[in-house]
Structure 1
């Protein structure tokens, strides 16, 4: 009876050892291993979880494969983002091209309109610069008077007027700078529109002659 019990216990332990081999992994030499637990040295190399029947339950990728998958997913997202941005830019360009064609009937008209805008910008800047210069000249005279004054009250009143002129000079200078920046933007738009319109009309003429 004791011997029978030992055989049953041995069979139970053996079957447990067999069916607890729920993992399959491959070592660095390509040899396949089975076991109820994975050695720490191979824990990050990828393995397969098995059912007791030996069929595959789950494939666990290696740390390197997981890293590569994550990096690839990130690259794919970046590529999709770039493609969307390129498509958005293409749509904007098409819209700008349509507007450009509808606004100007010829290259000469485009040049005339932009030259008019640049002349208006130059005129506005010239007016501001003239006013700034006139105020600067007035400031020099007032500062000279302020130096010669002896009466404290008069000197104080004139000092207040000088401060007002300095404030106005600052305002004019800022306005001049803003207008110069705006003029530069107009000139840049002019160059871009001129080049694009030439390309568009050149394509139209070419397609028309081909037909």
Structure 2
């Protein structure tokens, strides 16, 4: 009796063949099946992939050896990944072309976002400077108590700790926002490059 393909392999085959025009297989009862996916009845059968005209273009055999099965799994995974990447690229291309009518519009969108993030960066910078000034002031007060041989008041110690936390948090926020700016610029550069590729007149 033929051994069933592993569930994982079968699910991958479903996904891979779903990208084809149609498939054909004959189950154990001799019934021929056509469709866009592999039916459960053909889990142990060879499967033929057909082109748009119904002509066979690829045969997936049954009763594979362990080595053949592993090789097939790798190939199916590769094809499924490539098909998914192509599908995602087409989706992105469609969104890009429907969003912008020219490269100039991409530049304007980028500049608007740069301006917004720059304003946020300036705000964080100002808050960070203020927090550092407060920390320096509190540290100076604490140093005065220490110089006089007095204990630093608890409320001043609390103020120092709070100011340190504020400085640390704002430094992290500033670094993250700078990274966001760099990432955003890179995205618009990539969008502009891809837009140019998609709208480039065909060569004669």
Q: Provide TM-score, normalisation by structure 2.
A: 0.62
| 1:76 and 2:36 are equivalent in the alignment | no
Q: How far apart are the structure 1 equivalents of 2:85 and 2:97? A: 18
Equivalent in 94, 98, 113 of residue 94 of structure 2: 98
Partner residue, 1:130: 126
SS in 2 for 1:139: helix
Q: How far apart are the structure 2 equivalents of 1:84 and 1:185? A: 29
SS in 2 for 1:206: coil
Partner residue, 1:176: 174
SS in 2 for 1:94: helix
**1:159, distance to aligned residue in structure 2 (A):** 1.1
SS in 2 for 1:83: helix
Q: Which portions of structure 1, spanning 4 or more consecutive aligned residues, are displaced by more than 4 angstroms? A: none
**1:122, distance to aligned residue in structure 2 (A):** 2.1
Spell out the pairing of 1:5-154 with structure 2 (5 A cutoff): 69-149=65-145, 152=151
Partner residue, 2:199: 201
Bigger Rg, structure 1 or 2: 1
**1:167, distance to aligned residue in structure 2 (A):** 1.4
SS in 2 for 1:173: helix
Structure 1: segments with no counterpart, 5+ residues: 1-67
**1:177, distance to aligned residue in structure 2 (A):** 2.1
Equivalent in 153, 160, 185 of residue 183 of structure 2: 185
Q: Provide TM-score, normalisation by structure 1.
A: 0.60
Residues 15-67 of structure 1, C-alpha deviations (whole Å, 9 max, x = no match):
xxxxxxxxxxxxxxxxxxxxxxxxxxxxxxxxxxxxxxxxxxxxxxxxxxxxx
Q: How far apart are the structure 2 equivalents of 1:82 and 1:118? A: 39
In terms of fraction of residues, the more helix-rich structure is 1
Partner residue, 1:155: 153
**1:137, distance to aligned residue in structure 2 (A):** 1.8
